[in-house]
């Protein structure tokens, strides 16, 4: 009986809390991809207006009430409209970075607010009144919002563990590295932005009925900042954070109001609790961010994050440790037409690249043959890394062409280059540092899997089978480089040499035909360098690779490479077999001789 009384009294609050949790999730989804979008209230307002207009003008209804089916239809339409608008706004706006994007989304919300304040169809400043009620009491809305919240949470839980969710997290950790792993940043950022917008639109449609009235005060900048507070105070590293943040922070002012009604309090305290509850609310947000910098709910709080669990405890690790045929099988299905047709494996033709007044690469041409280990040496600033960046699409050449197995790759984005079979490592190691070693390996297999948001979120068997496949392959590759024991650790916690080897394993996980390694031995001691040399030689044979290698350590390059190109001040000054290069006086002068 008490429970029933409680639910009836607090029906409005309970539904409000649930709606707030959903809205917090709508902001959290783009945040997962590293995008701070404050646009949710705009889509929320849009969804609300769609429902309000449809319910009061279009859909037939008995006076003051409306069937639940009409509400569901409005929710669907709100989702579609919000989604379309999100794509239209997101595609241009997501080119902006960081805080610029955030402020552009604030601008979007403000523009929408002013427009809705002035249109006839939205009822101008007055808004729309008397939106019909599908339920007899406010608590009845729980029939809609509770399943919606639970459903969204299940989807988020699955999403964070499958391909699409991992792609989003990879973008948050390091957009450039994610791009080089074959993840299309524009697509996934727009996807996350759109999903968040659709959720906000749906919540708006429900809220319009729930509040019975809708006007331009719904979905303003104030709402944007409250949602941000929900996410950050709740915790932004798991979807449970925003949910908890939304629930608690919505309840808080009401709890304070209720507390004021407790008898026996001095009058001034009661008055302060009632009228000053937003003062307390604001103070708690400020204090909360100081004392809970990672939010109330952290992955550690949830019984240890899966990333840091001992991998051997799980049954997913295969018993056999012999390297595994499937890892190698990756390269077998690759076409061998380049060998037959005589087309160069990788041709760099008259490539130049400039930064401002500096010509980093100047009219460089060479061809790399299939299966060779091709070294690039040169003093600091010779343009070696820039050349890699041009080949992999990270830098746009001022002139020239990069042709890979007959395909012109010039000016293609990194994820397209990766999809064609070129993987790379970075001079200054770009692992997804906050994620586990295993996650790094899974993200790198993005191109080898197909599961989208829907199949991943629904846990379809296709997605599950795919998931098992890439996990098995990740284990095999980790075994190969000797990192299987560290699969559960955070990548940034690994010793330096292990980070280098993980980067190589991660690049191999793409299943490339060509591997570009940028100073893989930097910072290693002599033993490690020797070991690395052996590893490179072994993987070339094992994975049927062509390797391009930038290295400063001359003995290593001389011993390892089939041919060597020498760059100096952006120009190719020599190209040939190690012994010939070593004896070229120009090379000696530029680089070797001291």
Binding site for another protein (CB under 8 A): 36, 92-93, 95-100, 103-104, 106-108, 110-111, 114-115, 117-118, 221-222, 225, 228-229, 232-233, 272, 275-276, 278-290, 293
Instruction: Quote the least distance from Cβ 92 to another protein, whole Å.
Output: 5
Nearer to another protein, 127 or 520 (CB): 127
Instruction: Quote the least distance from Cβ 243 to another protein, whole Å.
Output: 17
Q: Are 447 and 419 in contact (CB under 8 A)?
A: yes
The Cα-based distances of 56 to 61, 62, 101 in angstroms read: 8, 11, 36
Nearer to another protein, 98 or 325 (CB): 98
Nearer to another protein, 42 or 456 (CB): 42
If you search the block for the tokens 């600091």, which residue do you land on? 380
Could you give the CA distance from residue 269 to residue 148 in angstroms, rounded to a whole number?
Answer: 39
Instruction: Quote the least distance from Cβ 289 to another protein, whole Å.
Output: 4
Nearer to another protein, 92 or 264 (CB): 92
Nearer to another protein, 118 or 341 (CB): 118
DSSP string, 297-327: --GGGTTS-GGGS-GGGSS-S-S--S--HHH
Residue 118 CB partners (closer than 8 Å, separation 6+): 124
Could you give the CA distance from residue 47 to residue 210 in angstroms, rounded to a whole number?
Answer: 13
Instruction: Quote the least distance from Cβ 411 to another protein, whole Å.
Output: 19
Closest CA to 364 of 353, 351, 379, 375: 351
Instruction: Quote the least distance from Cβ 236 to another protein, whole Å.
Output: 8
Nearer to another protein, 261 or 275 (CB): 275
Nearer to another protein, 71 or 233 (CB): 233
Instruction: Quote the least distance from Cβ 114 to another protein, whole Å.
Output: 4
Nearer to another protein, 140 or 413 (CB): 413
399-404 vs 407-408, strand pairing mode? antiparallel
Instruction: Quote the least distance from Cβ 489 to another protein, whole Å.
Output: 23
Q: Six-digit token pair at 555?
A: 């003995």
478 CB burial (10 A radius; 0-12, 13-18, 19+): buried
Instruction: Quote the least distance from Cβ 96 to another protein, whole Å.
Output: 5
The Cα-based distances of 337 to 327, 333, 341 in angstroms read: 22, 12, 6
Closest CA to 476 of 273, 297, 328, 347: 328
Could you give the CA distance from residue 86 to residue 47 in angstroms, rounded to a whole number?
Answer: 12
């Amino acid at each position: 009986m008490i429970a029933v009384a409680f639910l009836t009294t607090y029906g409005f609050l309970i539904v409000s809390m649930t709606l707030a949790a959903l809205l917090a999730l709508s902001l959290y989804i783009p945040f997962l991809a590293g995008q701070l979008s404050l646009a949710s209230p705009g889509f929320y307002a849009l969804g609300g207006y769609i429902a309000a207009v449809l319910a009061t003008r279009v859909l037939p209804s008995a006076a003051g009430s409306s069937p639940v089916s009409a509400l569901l239809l409005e929710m669907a339409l709100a989702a579609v409209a919000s989604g379309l608008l999100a794509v239209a706004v997101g595609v241009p706006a997501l080119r902006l970075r960081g805080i610029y994007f955030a402020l552009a989304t604030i601008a979007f919300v403000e523009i929408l607010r002013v427009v809705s304040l002035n249109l006839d169809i939205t009822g101008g400043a007055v808004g729309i009144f008397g939106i019909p009620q599908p339920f007899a009491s406010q608590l009845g809305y729980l029939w809609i919002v509770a399943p919606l919240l639970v459903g969204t949470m299940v989807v988020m839980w699955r999403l964070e563990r499958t391909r699409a969710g991992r792609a989003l997290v990879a973008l948050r950790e390091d957009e450039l590295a994610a791009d080089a792993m074959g993840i299309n940043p524009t697509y996934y950022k727009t996807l996350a932005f759109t999903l968040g917008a659709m959720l906000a639109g749906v919540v708006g449609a429900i809220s319009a009925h729930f509040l019975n009235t809708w006007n331009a005060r719904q979905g303003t900048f104030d709402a944007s900042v409250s949602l941000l507070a929900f996410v950050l105070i709740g915790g932004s590293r798991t979807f449970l954070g925003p949910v908890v943040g939304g629930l608690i922070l919505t309840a808080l002012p009401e709890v304070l109001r209720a507390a004021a009604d407790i008898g026996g309090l001095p009058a001034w305290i009661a008055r302060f609790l009632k009228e000053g509850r937003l003062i307390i609310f604001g103070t708690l947000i400020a204090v909360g961010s100081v004392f809970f910098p990672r939010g109330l709910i952290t992955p550690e709080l949830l019984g240890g994050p899966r990333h840091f669990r001992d991998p051997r405890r799980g049954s997913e690790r295969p018993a056999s440790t012999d390297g595994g045929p499937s890892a190698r099988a990756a390269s077998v299905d690759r076409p061998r037409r380049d060998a037959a047709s005589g087309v160069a494996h990788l041709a760099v033709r008259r490539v130049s690249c400039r930064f401002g007044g500096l010509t980093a690469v100047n009219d460089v041409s060479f061809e790399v043959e299939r299966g060779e280990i091709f070294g690039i040496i040169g003093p600091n600033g010779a343009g070696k890394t820039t050349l890699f960046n041009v080949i992999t699409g990270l830098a746009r050449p001022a002139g020239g062409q990069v042709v890979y197995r007959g395909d012109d790759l010039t000016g293609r984005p990194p994820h397209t280059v990766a999809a064609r079979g070129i993987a790379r490592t970075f001079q200054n190691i770009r692992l997804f540092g906050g994620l586990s070693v295993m996650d790094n390996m899974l993200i790198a297999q993005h191109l080898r899997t197909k599961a989208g948001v829907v199949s991943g979120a629904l846990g379809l068997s296709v997605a599950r089978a795919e998931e098992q496949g890439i996990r098995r392959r990740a284990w095999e590759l980790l075994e190969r480089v000797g990192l299987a024991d560290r699969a559960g650790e955070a990548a940034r916690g690994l010793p330096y040499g292990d980070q280098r080897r993980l980067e190589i394993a991660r690049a191999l996980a793409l299943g490339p035909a060509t591997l570009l390694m940028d100073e893989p031995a930097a910072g290693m001691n002599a033993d490690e360098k020797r070991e690395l040399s052996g590893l490179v030689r072994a993987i070339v044979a094992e994975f049927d690779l062509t390797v391009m290698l930038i290295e400063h350590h001359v003995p290593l390059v001389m011993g390892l490479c089939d041919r060597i190109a020498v760059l100096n001040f952006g120009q190719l000054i020599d190209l040939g077999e190690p012994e010939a290069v070593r004896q070229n006086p120009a090379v000696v002068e530029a680089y070797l001789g001291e």
